[in-house]
Amino acid sequence: MLQRFFFFYLLCLLIVVQGHAQQVGKPSQPAGTVITKPLPEEGGEPPAPALPAEKFLGIWEWRSGTTVFRLQLSRDPYFLLPNGKTLPTIVGQHSYTRNGILVETSLNKEMTVLAKPTTGNILSGTYKELTKKTWGWVTLTILPTAPNKMTFALKQKEGAVTGTAPIPTVGFTVPSTMTLTRVP
C-alpha cells in the first residue's frame, strides 16, 4: 500500500512540475518573427539570425596614400575554448600593405581578431600582431552617425616580466588607431 501511495505521489509531483515549467517557458513568437539578441554567454546556444554584432560583419578598410589596412570580420558561432566549451564570437583576418608592399597578412591563413560585442556599437577583444609576434587589445566602434565607418583602436597588453623572460616587443606594425570604412 505504501508503494502505491509513493508512486501516486511521484506521479502527481511530476505533473505539477511539468505544468509549472510550461507556464514559465518562453512565450511563442508569431511565424516569421526575427528575435534580435546579444551574443549568448559561454556555452550558450548559437546566435540568433539577427544580432547587434551583425553590423560589424564584412570587409573594412583604411587607406592613407598607398598604405592600406584591410580587416575581414565574420561570425564563428562555435569558437572552441581551451576548456572544451564553445563561445559565439566575431573573428577576423587582416592584411597590411605599406607603400604598396605587403607587410603582413592573415587572410585565408589564421584568425587575428577574436572579439565579442560589449555594447551596441562596440566590439572588444584580442588582436594578434603577426610581424612582432605579440598580442594586443582591440576595440572596434561603429560611429553612430556613420554606420559604414568604424574606429579601430589597439592597446598593448600589460603584464609583468619576471626572471630571464624576454622583454616584450613594444608597439604594433599596423597603426594603433584608424577609422575604417566598410567595403561594399
Does residue 54 have a pLDDT over 50? yes
pTM for the full model?
0.66
Q: What is the percentage of the chain residues whose pLDDT exceeds 70?
A: 65
For the residues 78-96, what does the mean pLDDT come to?
Answer: 89
For residue 5, being part of any structural domain is answered with: no
SS3 157: coil
Among 92, 93, 91, 95, smallest CA distance to 68 is for 95
- Residue 64 structural domain: 52-182
Cα angle 110, 112, 116; round to 5: 120
Residue 77 has what pLDDT?
Answer: 86
For residue 123, being part of any structural domain is answered with: yes
Total structural domains within the chain: 1
Residue 92 has what pLDDT?
Answer: 95
Average pLDDT, the chain: 75
For residue 80, being part of any structural domain is answered with: yes
Residue 21 has what pLDDT?
Answer: 35
CB atoms within 10 A of CB 148: 14
Residue 31 has what pLDDT?
Answer: 43
Structure-model confidence comparison of residues 92 and 161, the more confident one: 92
Alpha helices by DSSP H, the chain? 2-24
pLDDT tens-digit readout, 77-86:
888 888 988 8
For residue 81, being part of any structural domain is answered with: yes
- Residue 56 CB contacts under 8 Å (≥ 6 apart), including other chains: 73, 90, 117, 123, 140, 142, 150
The band of 168, judged by pLDDT with boundaries at 50, 70 and 90, is: low
For residue 106, being part of any structural domain is answered with: yes
pLDDT tens-digit readout, 123-162:
999 999 998 888 899 999 999 899 899 999 999 887 655 5
The band of 95, judged by pLDDT with boundaries at 50, 70 and 90, is: very high
The band of 163, judged by pLDDT with boundaries at 50, 70 and 90, is: low
For residue 154, being part of any structural domain is answered with: yes
Does residue 73 have a pLDDT over 60? yes
Q: How far apart are CA 139 and CA 145, in angstroms?
A: 18
Per DSSP bridges, beta strands 101-105 and 146-156 are unpaired
For residue 64, being part of any structural domain is answered with: yes
Residue 157 has what pLDDT?
Answer: 81
For the residues 11-26, what does the mean pLDDT come to?
Answer: 36
For residue 30, being part of any structural domain is answered with: no
